A and B are shown apart, each in its own frame.
Chain A
Amino acid sequence: MSGTAVDELVEDYLTRLDRLAAGLPADRRRDLMEGIGEHISSARAGGAVDVDGVRAVLRRLGAPEEIVAAAAGDEPLSATRPTTATSPWGGLEVSAVVVLTAGGFLVPGLTALGGLVLAVSSPRWRGWEKSVAGVLCLSPLALLALFYVFEGSVPGLGGGNGLLHLIYVGSSLCAVAAGLFLGLRLRARTGEAGGAAR
């Protein structure tokens, strides 16, 4: 009877630990579960056979939360560095490229500006790369501004003006070009980082 109660106690503890450790890389999670599992088996083989004995062993091991926190925090070298060192792609960079390329077809002009702002605020692109993207995104808008000056009104889509349509299409294409350019630059850099690491 007491055997099953002890097994249950151990099982509960290990299940909680395993669930909490789900966020760890697979090999470290396995390592941790193996280590703690072996510790408990050794303690039981060494005389901790009743409920009180096993409770004491588990208490000394500590709360699963504490152990997993130590496992997660005990990685000054490998936890944070690789993701930033090997890939320059963060959320900001992906959004910038997506907004510029895909967004260019949806809302020309506005998305070009939005994408440009995202790209400029990212530290991953160099100054000249941002300038190229800036010229690509802003020149069609500058043309629109010129229209405003000479025609005295913001041209609408319904105007049927051929030149105007050309500028809209051009604005989309330029934004797409800027997005592709920035994307390819970062891709090239991923290769560089890998080369430097080797």
Chain B
Amino acid sequence: MEPGGARISQLRRGVLEFCVLSLLSHEELYGFELVRRLSEVDGMVTTEGTIYPLLSRLRRDGWVTSSWVESESGPPRRYYALSAEGKSALASFTEEWVRFRDAVDALMLEERS
């Protein structure tokens, strides 16, 4: 693992759940599709299987709901959707994230120059 790898993955894990919420705020998705979308973003997911425990927790926390939908190709799929609580959690994270990101950027760019 690269230097600081454990910390980077910790940071990623903390933010990942909000990326899941963000994807679900646009449309309902089933697990495989959701994982594929996340994996398309470079550096977002290293182990796809770990998304499922995350989804399970988001469901138990009430931020995400799920329902079974029949599929033409293969077994029924569990579709995930954002709940009202999930929506407001995402909104407050987004606000905090923008401030935090700008602050970190400003500090690091200042250090460099």
Task: Give me the interface of A with B, judged by CB distance under 8 Å.
Answer: 28, 31-32, 34-36, 38-39, 41-46, 60-64, 66-67, 70-71, 74-75, 77-78
With contacts A35-B55, A45-B73, A45-B74 taken as known, whether A70 is within 8 angstroms of B50 at the C-beta atoms is yes
Main secondary structure of the interface of B (DSSP, over half): helix
Q: Is the CB of B47 within 8 A of A70?
A: yes
Shortest 6 CB-CB contacts between residues of A and residues of B? A62-B47, A35-B52, A42-B32, A71-B53, A45-B74, A70-B50
Interface contact tally, CB-CB below 8 A: 80
Closest chain-B Cβ to A24's Cβ sits at a distance in Å of 9
Q: Is the CB of B47 within 8 A of A67?
A: yes
CA distance A135 to B52 in the complex (A): 56
Main secondary structure of the interface of A (DSSP, over half): helix
> Please, how many residues of chain B have a CB less than 8 angstroms from a CB on the other chain?
27
Q: Is the CB of A70 within 8 A of B53?
A: yes
CB-defined interface of B47-65 with A at 8 Å, one 1/0 digit per residue? Answer: 1111011111101110000
Beyond A38-B77, A43-B32, A61-B47, 7 extra complex contacts between A and B, CB < 8 Å: A31-B52, A35-B55, A35-B56, A38-B30, A42-B74, A70-B53, A71-B56
Q: Which residue of A lies closest to B54 (CB)?
A: A74
Closest chain-A Cβ to B19's Cβ sits at a distance in Å of 15
Closest chain-B Cβ to A81's Cβ sits at a distance in Å of 14
